[in-house]
Structure 1
Amino acid sequence: MPRAKIILATLFVILCWAYSPIGIHIALQAYAPDNLALLRFLIASGFMAGVAWIKGISRPRLRDLPLFAVLGLFAVTLHHIALNYGQRGVSAGAASVLAQSTPLFSALLASTLFRERLGAWQWGCVLGGLLGAGVVAVGDRGLGELDGHGLLILLAAASWSLYFALQKRYSQHYDGLTLVCFTLWSGTALLLVYLPGLPAELAQASVSVNLAVLVLGIFPSALAYLAWAYVLTHSQVSRAAIALYLIPPVAMLMAWVILAQRPSVMVIVGTVIVLASVGALTVKVR
């Protein structure tokens, strides 16, 4: 029974995070990218406040508040602003592939910021993954229509990898729920600068668009993190991480069914290159 729960929780995470680019694509029909990020995380923050009230969380130390602000900046504010702006010019399936390049940037950060030595194999994986990301971008938009939107999604992936690196190095004093809550709340607080423009868009958005944002706020932004924490607690991290490679194919299938966005052959080839590079890098590092 515990094994069945782990499998179900993993499938739930995959579906939630695969839906994320589809929900963003729908929501961008009515919301500016920055206002969408704010509304999504106001919903997520409220939901996680209820979870925290029920389960209880630790109170952060005063000296750690700047750390939570930095974690919130990279995990929520910068990551989702870049992701939303990037998806204005990238299909949902391609966006999911580019966002899955986080381990490549983690390796680059380990080498440049944290002075960890990378071998020839690791550098080959990083370069291969970046080449695959380029193939995805070209295959999605066409060589003549390339612009900065794909780079913005790669910036979002880099921001996410920096969050993970900082979380791993400086956050040993808090349990997972406490860390997620205060990171999420800090990032949401930074997004409040966009609050003046939100009410008008909220009033004009259709019910279907607002439903897509509600799903984004509750499932990919809140429940999926709790489910993923459960999976990591009850299984090996390396084995659980392999399941995340299913997110881009599932996202492409969902985008095909829901948005009628059919991936090109080049996007599929680029996806294989990116995921193979990320998988090879992860296996070698561990």
Structure 2
Amino acid sequence: MTLTQEPTTARTGMLATGAALITVVLWASAFVAIRHVGHEFSAGALSLGRLLVGSAILGAFLLIRRPSSATSVLQRRPLKRDWAPLLACGLLWFGVYNVALNAAEQRLDAGTAAMLVNIGPLLIALLAGVLLKEGFPRQLVIGSAVAFAGVLLIGTSSSTGRAETWGVILCIIAAIAYAIGVVAQKPLLGRLPALQVTWLACTIGAVACLPFAPALVREASAAKASSIWWVIFLGAFPTALAFTTWAYALARTSAGRMGATTYLVPPIAIAFAWLLLDEVPAPLAFVGGALCLAGVALSRQKKA
């Protein structure tokens, strides 16, 4: 490696890390927003509203951005082979995941939901190791186990002890859809720009949620203005921005390592809930958050 290549590689790594951190912070904020508006918007309507806003913002940005020879959307049209993984990512991660998670959070407390949904990163590591030939690096396996133990502590400390069966099933469905969506997205990012992949997947998810349009119109007309602004926030930031920064970072690292990064979401979500909703975390939640941080740091270490 030349002297000019090394700083470029280091800079790319720093940008990817920064993009991943933006993603987890915004996804953590989404849990607070979903909880806040869940009493006014049903699961399907909230998903559709969020995805419509996200698709519109991403589409507008694609239209107004200056094209270059390297990133012009017109020069990087998806090939036939790209549509199957695009549909899988859009339908499962943007569609099924959002609806299932929104519905689950109306039935389960946050602690139980966090424990169940966070089997997703473990599934990502497993699927990526087998299907994407990423293997199972020791640091990733150990780090994921430590971070998952942290999630279990957070969930145990904040759980009410009541787990509705249908809510549990919805969380597991959300985790499976999330894992498959990530693994389907990863190969696309080697051929298509992150922004384009995100917009296409978001639009596919929005189209799949169109049957909820009557409910969205009805509930939006009765909702408070502040709740509508929260839906717009969900579409603009945790969806349009966060999924784009996720795709940018995923294109520059393995799916397993990126999946492990999302173990940071539960402790950050607890911090947001503490600050914005006055929900004081239990002492064990702090220990769980520290384990999540340690596990993610370990999982992202590369073998010397």
TM-score normalised by L of structure 1: 0.78
Pair 158,51 (structure 1): closer, same or farther in 2 beyond 3 Å? same
The C-alpha deviation readout for 1:193-230, integer Å capped at 9, x for no partner, is: 22222211111111111111111111111123445566
* Contact 2:40–2:223 under 8 Å retained in 1: yes
The C-alpha deviation readout for 1:128-158, integer Å capped at 9, x for no partner, is: 5555444333322233x23344664454344
Pair 130,96 (structure 1): closer, same or farther in 2 beyond 3 Å? closer
SS of the residue corresponding to residue 182 of structure 1 reads: helix
- Which amino acid letter does the alignment assign opposite residue 230 of structure 2? A
Distance in 2, Cα, partners of 1:271 & 1:154: 22
* Contact 1:9–1:227 under 8 Å retained in 2: yes
Distance in 2, Cα, partners of 1:285 & 1:190: 41
* Residue 190 of structure 1, CA deviation: 0.9
Aligned match for 2:182, one of 164, 172, 179 = 164
Identify the residue that residue 215 of structure 2 maps to in structure 1: 197
- Which amino acid letter does the alignment assign opposite residue 45 of structure 1? S
Distance in 1, Cα, partners of 2:77 & 2:157: 48
Aligned match for 1:147, one of 149, 155, 164 = 164
The C-alpha deviation readout for 1:244-283, integer Å capped at 9, x for no partner, is: 6654433222211211222222333334444544443443
Distance in 2, Cα, partners of 1:166 & 1:50: 25
Pair 90,279 (structure 1): closer, same or farther in 2 beyond 3 Å? farther
1:52 equivalent to 2:62? Answer: yes
Identify the residue that residue 27 of structure 1 maps to in structure 2: 37
- Which amino acid letter does the alignment assign opposite residue 225 of structure 2? V
Distance in 1, Cα, partners of 2:36 & 2:201: 26
- Between the two structures, name the one with larger relative contact order (CA 8 Å, sep ≥ 6): 1
1:101-116 correspondence runs (5 A): 102-110=120-128
- Which amino acid letter does the alignment assign opposite residue 43 of structure 1? V
* Contact 2:114–2:155 under 8 Å retained in 1: no
Pair 194,178 (structure 1): closer, same or farther in 2 beyond 3 Å? same
Identify the residue that residue 18 of structure 1 maps to in structure 2: 28
Gaps of at least 5 residues in structure 2 are 1-7, 66-71
* Contact 1:99–1:153 under 8 Å retained in 2: yes
Cα RMSD, aligned residues only: 3.9
Aligned pairs, number: 281
* Structure with greater helix percent: 1
Distance in 2, Cα, partners of 1:283 & 1:72: 30
1:258 equivalent to 2:276? Answer: yes
The C-alpha deviation readout for 1:55-104, integer Å capped at 9, x for no partner, is: 25243334533332111022201211122122224556875676565432
TM-score normalised by L of structure 2: 0.74
Mean Cα deviation higher: 35-44 or 158-167: 158-167
Identify the residue that residue 87 of structure 2 maps to in structure 1: 69
Identify the residue that residue 68 of structure 2 maps to in structure 1: none
Mean Cα deviation higher: 201-210 or 276-285: 276-285
SS of the residue corresponding to residue 210 of structure 2 reads: helix
Distance in 2, Cα, partners of 1:171 & 1:120: 25
